[in-house]
A and B are shown apart, each in its own frame.
Chain A
Amino acid sequence: MKAEPSRRLRLPRGEGAGAWLAAGSVALSLLALLALLALLTVRGLGHFWPSPVELVELEGGRQLAGERVREVPHAGGDGLERLYRIGNQDLEGGRWAWVRLSAIEAVSHPADLVVVERRRWGQAIGRLSAFQGASGERIEGEAAWPALEARLAELGTLRDARDRLREEVILPLAGRNDETAARELKAAHARLRELQSAMAGGRLILATADGEGLAVPLEQLLGARRPNAMSPLDKLVAWGEGVWRFLSEGPRAANTAGGVWPAIFGTVLMVMLMSILVTPFGVLAAIYLNEVAHQGRLTRLVRIAVRNLAGVPSIVYGVFGLGVFVYGIGGRLDSWFFEASLPSPTFGTGGLLWASLTLALLTLPVVIVATEEGLARIPDQQREGALALGATRLEMLSRVVLPMAAPAMLTGVILAVARAAGEVAPLMLVGVAKLAPQVPVDGDFPFLHLERKFMHLGYHIFDAAFHGGDVQAAMPLVYATALLLVLVILVLNLTAIFLRHHLSTRHGALTRR
């Protein structure tokens, strides 16, 4: 039984308006998709590129320094108006500045303008007027920048040493409780304190464009650079660092700055849990409908109902999850097992488990339908062949039918993953959090914390774009997060497609793509 090459009737190419119309719609859809990806990529990734800092002299002698953002026609109708990101939010009139082009006298790019990223208050821009080391010595003028750079490099090595000490010495020791361990632990803590104190202290003083002074303690400092003095290679390195920090760090400043690591982690973990939950249920349901149930009117009715469930708006599933999983089952679980911590809920509030379950329910129809289609495509001769060799029905199912249907099942899971990873609305009801810096997996027993709230890329986008204090600042991060969400879904899908391909080359060519 070889797979026949598929012969399909096609519209004759180059003939008739129908073919052109069809081709045109395909081209248009592709273009729209590419435009979307291009926008996300340029806006999202461009954000991490160190843009030049301009020193602008305005009429009347005022000066400002900042990164050019965009230009729009002036509301009054004459000329253009330009937006600068000037940072220094903690000073008066800081962060953003609109400047009319006609008011600009001169623009220059001095190499010594410094952009500083701070833990609080975001960016600061100005000239480095002094650097003060940990012991209080003050270095001014030209020598300040090299001294600052040296100190930052030193801090980096100290930080690495501290992290290594924590992970490789203290954590393993904390698990043991014998004499020697206690002694070693004490020594390690002493070393840790030493490192901490070596890292403490020091600050830098910026002189802003309009002449004010701004002190930044080094503890507050995330990074400092002089974009105008950077070579393209330096910028590339800085860009890479920026992207890496975006991917590996937690959010700051009410989600308008910093990274999205907890959200990536939450999204992937939630989708994986969802797949683990939905696959067995979906596959069993499909097997029941296709292989076990009497093919009568009731089965047909159930099948139609399942298909229609796929069309129910996702927020409805969210409501269901909230009512049944969170309040119903979760509340019951709390009163049985977590009475000690009541009235603060453990499972009786949204969390990873309930979100995964809700999405599993949401995607169940997709998996059932895809698996059923796969099962229906398996010729009855294969089943009879197995039975005729003395296989029981269970053996026939597990040894012949299911392996042959595996690619179809995986197609179902792929579709489910694609749908689940992009859903935000139901999650808002059943467990997503604006900020949950603790990811739901850690070293504490039971390692996977199903009751914890989690962050999600989709919700993070929504939150950063509409609920942050500074939408202007959050926009690039919104684009970057959106791009990341697309990439995460892509990677999840590619994994499943790769798996499916692997299975279908092993089990012959009974798959439809």
Chain B
Amino acid sequence: MPLVKEQRSSPDSAAIIDFPPEASSLAIRGLSLAYGDKSALNNLTLRVPRHRVTAFIGPSGCGKSTLLRVLNRLHDLNDEVVREGEVMLEGEDIHAPEVSVAELRRRVGMVFQSPNPFPMSIHDNVAFGLRLQGGLSKRKRDDIIEWALRSAALWDEVKDRLRASAWSLSGGQQQRLVIARTLAVGPEVLLLDEPASALDPISTLKIEELIRNLKSHLTLVLVTHNMQQAARVSDYTAFLQQGELVEYAPTDTLFTNPRLARTENYITGRMA
């Protein structure tokens, strides 16, 4: 049964940037998703460039989180979800039966809106993913933990209290710890779902700086409803509305010179 009964507006191909397959890390083709009979994503087709920051913006409820969760198959557990279309990671279909979900999730890491460190020590939080994989000596593991904490710009703040509870950290530190925890398992893609929306301005700036630094070796996908943030950190921005991809362009083009009136209305604050 097709999910999309009618094509409400054909995507304007001129407003959607494309990348050559060899330069893109993720490729989404004809992706539609519904929660039961309530449609959330409608026939999305786009590529995400490798080692760049791509931002998804759009009004609340437009399907940004839903899209991110497709990318590391977090919807698998929800049997209400009906999906159509495909997602390729480096040319492989992530929904193919031979793909291991655990392996996929290690390759495509995810950081959520509110920091969710586990109720363990700082050290154990970062070690969590490594311990799941097993096979690492303690020395090697500790090295990776230090590297991950340094990459997340947290090492200097916690190096003297690695055994303290992760819950004793501030909100911003907790979010960077979660990023470190995700980095430790060595992902290629990092999905960030409004990672700074629960944080104070200074912590937000730290996270943004971190995102800019990480793109040297990671593909980052950032969901945000803060357009300044998207403008500050991303290379490309995609604008979604009601589950549809409206416009996708280099960030400065999209914010200074949007092609479509719907995009312009949104970024200038005139909601349709």
A143 within 8 Å of B (CB atoms): no
State which of B74, B79, B165, B167 has its C-beta within 8 Å of the C-beta of A388: B74
Scan B177-200; emit 1 where CB is below 8 A from any A CB, else 0. Answer: 010011001000000000000000
CB pair A390 B102 closer than 8 Å: yes
Scan B103-131; emit 1 where CB is below 8 A from any A CB, else 0. Answer: 10110011010111111100000001100
CB pair B115 A1 closer than 8 Å: yes
State which of A1, A384, A387, A399 has its C-beta within 8 Å of the C-beta of B174: A1
Residue tally, chain B, CB below 8 Å to A = 29
State which of A387, A390, A404 has its C-beta within 8 Å of the C-beta of B103: A390
State which of A387, A399, A400 has its C-beta within 8 Å of the C-beta of B105: A387
CB pair A389 B116 closer than 8 Å: no
CB pair B132 A389 closer than 8 Å: yes
Give the shortest distance, in Å, between B252 (CB) and chain A (any CB): 31
Q: Which residues of chain A are within 8 angstroms of B74 by Cβ–Cβ distance?
A: 384, 387-388
Known: A381-B112, A384-B74. A390 touches B133 (CB 8 A): yes
Known: A385-B118, A404-B119. A508 touches B167 (CB 8 A): yes
Known: A2-B167, A384-B74. A390 touches B116 (CB 8 A): no
Known: A388-B110, A389-B128, A390-B132. A294 touches B115 (CB 8 A): no
Query: Which positions 58-87 of chain B face chain A at CB distance < 8 Å?
Result: 72, 74, 77, 79
User: What is the bound-complex CA distance between A300 and B223, given in angstroms?
Assistant: 36
CB pair A389 B115 closer than 8 Å: no
Known: A404-B119, A507-B119. A389 touches B112 (CB 8 A): no
CB-based nearest A residue for B105: A390
User: What is the bound-complex CA distance between A399 and B128, given in angstroms?
Assistant: 9
User: What is the bound-complex CA distance between A510 and B105, given in angstroms?
Assistant: 27
A249 within 8 Å of B (CB atoms): no
Known: A388-B109, A507-B119. A1 touches B102 (CB 8 A): no
CB pair A508 B119 closer than 8 Å: yes
Most buried by B among A1, A2, A387, A390: A390
Give the shortest distance, in Å, between B36 (CB) and chain A (any CB): 13
A71 within 8 Å of B (CB atoms): no
CB pair A385 B112 closer than 8 Å: yes
A238 within 8 Å of B (CB atoms): no
A391 within 8 Å of B (CB atoms): yes
Scan B85-110; emit 1 where CB is below 8 A from any A CB, else 0. Answer: 00000000000000000110110011
CB pair A391 B102 closer than 8 Å: yes
CB pair B185 A384 closer than 8 Å: no
A379 within 8 Å of B (CB atoms): yes
A382 within 8 Å of B (CB atoms): yes
Known: A2-B167, A389-B182. A379 touches B116 (CB 8 A): yes
State which of A379, A381, A389, A395 has its C-beta within 8 Å of the C-beta of B181: A389
Give the shortest distance, in Å, between A397 (CB) and chain B (any CB): 12
CB pair A400 B118 closer than 8 Å: yes
CB pair A382 B103 closer than 8 Å: no
State which of A294, A385, A387, A390 has its C-beta within 8 Å of the C-beta of B178: A385
User: What is the bound-complex CA distance between A2 and B119, given in angstroms?
Assistant: 11
Q: Which residues of chain B are within 8 angstroms of A395 by Cβ–Cβ distance?
A: 132
Known: A389-B182, A404-B119. A381 touches B105 (CB 8 A): no
User: What is the bound-complex CA distance between A144 and B128, given in angstroms?
Assistant: 79
Q: Which 7 residue pairs of A and B lie closest in terms of their CB atoms, listed nearest first?
A: A508-B119, A389-B129, A381-B116, A390-B106, A388-B110, A390-B102, A385-B116
Residues of A within 8 A of B (CB): 1-2, 294, 379, 381-382, 384-393, 395, 399-400, 403-404, 507-510
Q: A387-B105, A388-B109, A389-B129 are in contact. List 18 more A-B contacts (CB 8 A).
A: A1-B115, A1-B116, A1-B174, A294-B79, A381-B114, A384-B116, A386-B118, A388-B72, A388-B105, A388-B110, A388-B112, A388-B182, A389-B105, A389-B106, A391-B102, A395-B132, A509-B167, A510-B119
